[in-house]
Structure 1
């Protein structure tokens, strides 16, 4: 009897491991706004859902790194759901405090941009299976605002 239970457990775990899962990619990161204490960026993330039903997104997080240091981190507020059998575009707002930018003076002074690595972990809630994390890493360059951007 124990052998049968082991075989059933193995079958279920293999089936779940080989199921198609939602996928996500970062499309771009753009300047959103400039505040007194920080610069805000928006990361556009495309999430593809292979299931016919919508899938809710649970507590998800982001970490923005540059020059090996974390310059921003946080939770994605109210990400919503991924529509069934299609793509959903998420806007992830990232606030970078000016104090974090000061540590990047060398990188900024060379070409007035920040080379970055954005790490996202979207947690989707799949019925009967549970929570599945979708880790995403995106490497890119953020252009810093110029004086003209400050006044437009």
Structure 2
């Protein structure tokens, strides 16, 4: 690194010497070029596709973050669809308002329905966690 680069980096960013990654590279594309890349990349990220095209098998592998490991996209899609079609959030909000106002009449039938709703929410949670490759009760 030359002195001029060192001085600029130190002034602009005192932590520059400790940086683990080089700064990102920006590239301007026409709308048509971007559309072509998006169409050709398939399921890959645009960055991964461009690196693969530039460097082929010499492209350095990237570390995976692992913070969104969708194991079962189909199950995740089913869950998202089921939640989208349900009125679960609205119904829970109405229940919470009724409880807070003291107007919820708790009969054996109401209690059974609430327990059933809790069971269904627990099942959805377990399916969602499974689709994400997580085990219920494990650390995030």
Query: Counting strand residues as a fraction of each chain, which structure ranks higher?
Result: 1
Query: Counting helix residues as a fraction of each chain, which structure ranks higher?
Result: 2
Q: TM-score range by the shorter chain?
A: under 0.3
* TM-score normalized by the length of structure 2: 0.21
Greater RCO (CA < 8 Å, at least 6 residues apart): 2
* TM-score normalized by the length of structure 1: 0.20
Larger Rg: 2
